[in-house]
Homo-oligomer: A and B are copies of this chain.
Amino acid sequence: MPLEDLSLNLHTVRKQWTLRQAVEACARHGYQGVAPWRDMVQEISPAEAARIFQANGTRVTGYCRGGLFAAQGFDKLTEAIDDNKRMIDEAAALGAECIVMIGGGLAPGSRDLGAARKTFADGIAAIMPHARAAGIALALEPMHPMYAADRGCITTLGEMLDICDALGPGLGVAVDVYHVWWDPDLAAQIARAGRRIISHHICDWLVPTRHMLTDRGMMGDGVIDIAAIRRMVEAAGYGGIQEVEIFSDHWWSRPGDEVLATAMQRFKTAC
């Protein structure tokens, strides 16, 4: 696989670099794309971020992250929909290839996971016309069940594909190995996804995992059979870029150039 098939989720080096520094470093290290987070973009404006991407010839493989429709409360759905529409406009200004959409947690004070899941689907339905008009694909990302309460109420690829089935074109899924590797139904659901896979994220699951949020591993350092998942995704018809996304106290403590060089090397040997 050619080097240009790697993208970097900028959260991976957010403790080391500004958006501009990270994009320039990615270009030096042979990354063809990046995936910025919204706060990084808003800090300098979408227009300025777009100039940085263009100046470096950098693809914007995803914009992180929308969705979270129930997280502020069921009575705040309208505000969440409006905010997601603004994010679509920002993504268009950036030239982003998709927006990554996550379930978000339970509504405050609620124990109703089913209601949070339904609200997510309702929110996606509400913003689809805006996304289609803007030409921005939405990549629905299931999250690991350990985040079900506070980050991603939708935990399986199967659930996200049910939403894609219901709501039609313009929707796809993001397959992040960290979130889905444990799923006994993974092979079947990746095959079912087919060409609806529009984003593919890689990192590793460490044993032991010392922190639920900030202890993801570099590819090859953990137990995920990344190559096997890549084969499933390729067999389903995905031939696009892969995106390194590592939230890690360890890797945030290392020089950014070391992180980028290591990830590129592991991409070639451990994925």
Contact = CB atoms under 8 A, between A and B. Distances in A.
B113 A225 contact: yes
A111 B230 CA distance: 14
A95 to B, nearest CB: 35
Nearest to A208: B150
Contacts of A155: 182-184
Contacts of A150: 207-208
A105 B225 CA distance: 15
A12 to B, nearest CB: 22
A65 interface: no
A223 B149 contact: yes
Quick one: copies of this chain in the complex? 2
Contact of A111 (B145, B158, B223): B223
A249 to B, nearest CB: 15
Contact of A182 (B113, B184, B209, B222): B113
Contact of A207 (B149, B184, B208, B222): B149
Contacts of A156: 184
Contacts of A182: 113, 145, 148, 155
A174 interface: no
Nearest to A206: B149
A70 interface: no
Contact of A224 (B111, B117, B159, B225): B111
Contact of A145 (B145, B207, B223): B145
B184 A117 contact: yes
Contact of A146 (B149, B184, B209): B209
A85 interface: no
A155 B186 CA distance: 13
A49 interface: no
Per CB-CB distance, the 8 closest pairs between chain A and chain B, nearest first, are A148-B182, A145-B182, A111-B225, A146-B146, A145-B145, A149-B223, A149-B207, A150-B207
